[in-house]
Amino acid sequence: MTKIGVGIGEEFPADDTKPAEAPAGDRRTGRCGSPEDRAVRREAYRKWREQRRAWRRQWRKALHEQRNERRSDWRAWSRTFQHELHDNIVRNIHRGLSESARDDRFVVQPQWNQPLLWAILALIAIIALVSFVFANLFTIVGVVAILALIAAYYRGHDPFALEPEGQSPSPRPAAS
């Protein structure tokens, strides 16, 4: 054994070569002491472990019983709710069928008045037309100009004539 941590010239505090003379006795025999002590401790631990297992079994059994009780309560409630719902639906259907012949329950909804319907459609068409005109202003002006030129051409006017009508074209000088 080395003397790490002990100053120079000092004696090492524990001498393992003489275990019987050590201050706390022989530590190599174990911490439990004699084999009888170990047997007593082992038996006490075994009894405690068995008791713990019994407690755990009892707790699990109670937990399963509570869970099964909750499940059975839920299933009973669900069955009664389904039966009540089905009975209520059937009762309402039978009541609706029997009362529909003599009751004004299924009244025809009021229909749109035709002039009012046409007025609403005309308003929507006007709004759409105005929106189209503002969105495509230059296209519309161009189409109108082309149609005006075509109409003038078919009436006998030459829109691209540069000389006024009634004047003959000016004579061109002869080429020399």
Q: Tokens 């006998």 identify what position?
A: 156
pLDDT at residue 116 is higher than 80: yes
Mean pLDDT of the chain, nearest integer: 79
Is residue 28 pLDDT above 90, yes or no?
A: no
What percent of the chain clears pLDDT 90, i.e. is strictly above it? 41
- Which of the two residues, 64 and 108, has the higher pLDDT score? 64
Contacting residues for 27 by C-beta, under 8 A, at least 6 apart:
19
At residue 143 the predicted structure's pLDDT band, cuts being 50, 70 and 90, is: very high
Q: Which residue has the higher pLDDT, 170 or 132?
A: 132
Distance (Å) of CA 52 to CA 42, 56, 57, 61, 63:
15, 6, 9, 14, 16
Q: Which amino acid is at 40?
A: V
In the chain, where the domains are located: 30-98, 114-154
The residue that leads in pLDDT, 27 or 57, is: 57
Distance CA 15, CA 21 (A): 9
* Higher pLDDT pick, 41 / 105: 41
Give the burial string for 90-104 (b: 16+ CB within 10 Å, else e): eeeeeeeeeeeeeee
> What is the tens place of the pLDDT at every residue in 56-69?
999 999 999 999 99
Report, as an integer, the average pLDDT of 32-47.
Answer: 88
pLDDT at residue 61 in the model: 96
Q: Taking 90 as the threshold, does the pLDDT of residue 152 lie above it?
A: no
Q: How confident is the model at residue 164 (pLDDT cuts 50, 70, 90)?
A: low
Q: What does the alpha-carbon distance between residue 55 and residue 59 come to, in Å, rounded to a whole number?
A: 6
